[in-house]
Structure 1
Amino acid sequence: MKRNRVIETTDGIQEEATVEQYDAMQRGLRDRGLMETKSILKAGISSGRVLELGPGPGYLGLEWLKETADTYLIGVDISPAMIAIAERNRKDYGLQERAEYLHATVMDIPLKNESVDAVFSNGSLHEWENPGSVIDEMFRVLKPGGKIFISDLKRTMNVLILLFMKFMVKGKAIKRGLETSVRAAYTANEIAAVFSGTRFGACSIKETPFGIEIVGSK
């Protein structure tokens, strides 16, 4: 039976020790080739000036930059501690000239109307205080024809898969955070309903064993 959604946080991960643990987890996913880079490229996001919502330590966006040419990334995150890690990782990648990170809420993206070619996000949808408002903000900053890709966990995840994921990550705070993130995640039907009330109106939603992937265009 599907459990009711339990809100996790709208403030992101702020505590520095937990941020470092999260960075290590994301780095491990990158090293095992488990980032969503290919899915973003498959969604048609491969050029231009692109916005990432909730980049965390930055690995997904930085890997995307590695796979593309003549691209520029803007990351918006609510956590100053995460931005500091992302800026450190940007330097390690040697991509200081192709990426910047802004401290802001995704409810009020600090960019002009129709100023980006695409938007992508992974793992932050369940933290958005009002996902419909954020999706409308994405629509606002997108140029006509711009594409979006959003991926996240799903609340209907199989319990055996969740146990496997908990086994694979290290740190009590990260294991606990994985559980609370799943409880705060949306179902595919819930997200379809959210999109129906936004300026996008509709989207394509794909379920995976671990979560959901959302693709749309303006």
Structure 2
Amino acid sequence: MQRTPEPELMDAPEQASAYAAADFSAGDQALVERIAELFPGGLGGRILDLGCGPGNISFRLARAYSDTVVIGLDGAAAMLQLAERRLHQEGDLVGRLSFVERCLPSPDLPAGCSAVVSNSTLHHLHDPLMLWLAIAQAAAPGARVYLKDLRRPPSPEAAEALRERYLAEAPPVLQHDYLASLHAAFTAAEVTEQLQRSGLEMLQVAEVDDRYLEVWGELP
């Protein structure tokens, strides 16, 4: 099916609250473990979580890599308010974990990052090259890169089947957004073309399970 873009920012308070309240812990932990598997030598001292939302992955990265600084970046103020609130409630990561509000493209991204991670952000962007160019802009030479996102199913019927399989019991706002995200996602072939156009052809692309794709590698 053809791609149907969705709004770039999830900035409605009810959206932010629904996502913060949802239990994505198993998938989030699996993502951090996958990163550790791909990069057994670690992620260096400065990690950027690009499109961090309420910070779920940012917090896990900061705890998994205790010798690093982690920066969570997002364009949605409502999401970042939740992340900041959690940061100050938990307290022990203040000084190593921070959050910044930026919309892509931006000339003012964190620079010199030894690793750039992005989870479920690519499909939100109307122009996907903005994400890949932001990665190139923020990354230091030799940076590790890991991205995971939904991939677009072949038909509306297949998208509906995925919603039924994975989110049948979820709140309506999450079900609606999930279906929209499936329609807005990219295929592995499209992402491969994006990498070639943005000068990041050294990164690898693979389909994962029945609904995801991942991109990983090290920059020159």
The alignment's TM-score, normalised by the length of structure 1, stands at 0.89
Matched, 1:104 2:102: yes
Match of 2:184 in 1: 184
CA-CA distance at 1:66 after TM superposition: 1.1
Instruction: Work out whether residues 50 and 73 of structure 2, in 8 Å CA contact, stay in contact via their aligned partners in 1.
Output: yes
Structure 1 stretches of 4+ moved >6 Å: none
Alignment of 1:71 onto 2:65 = no
Structure 2 residue aligned with 1:194 = 194
Q: Any idea what SS the aligned residue of 1:69 has?
A: coil
Question: Could you give the per-residue CA deviations for residues 155-200 of structure 1, whole angstroms, max 9, x where no partner exists?
Answer: 127554331222242x211110000000000000000011011122
**Cα distance in structure 1, aligned partners of 2:153 and 2:218:** 26
- 1:205 deviates by 1.1
CA separation of 1:105/1:98 partners in 2, compared to 1, >3 Å: closer, same or farther? same
State the match for 2:168 in structure 1.
167
Query: Residues of 2 paired with 1:129 and 1:216: CA distance?
Result: 24
1:214 aligns with 2:209: no
Q: Note if contact 2:205-2:214 (Cα within 8 Å) is conserved in structure 1.
A: yes
Cα distance change of structure 1 residues 23 and 165 upon mapping to structure 2, 3 Å threshold: same
| Identity value in percent | 22
Match of 2:27 in 1: 34
Once the two structures are superposed, what CA deviation does each residue of 1:116-170 show, in whole Å capped at 9, x if it has no partner? Answer: 101001011101232223212211221111011111111127554331222242x
Question: Equivalent residue of 1:106, what SS?
Answer: coil
Contact 1:76 1:106 in 2 (8 A): no
- For residue 123 of structure 1, the aligned residue among 115, 120, 124 is 120
Q: Mark the runs of 5 or more structure 1 residues left unpaired by the alignment.
A: none
Q: CA RMSD in A?
A: 1.7
Which blocks of at least 5 consecutive residues in structure 2 are unaligned?
A: none
SS in 2 for 1:34: helix
> In 2 relative to 1, CA 145–107 (structure 1 residues): closer, same or farther, beyond 3 Å?
same
Shift of 1:112: 5.6
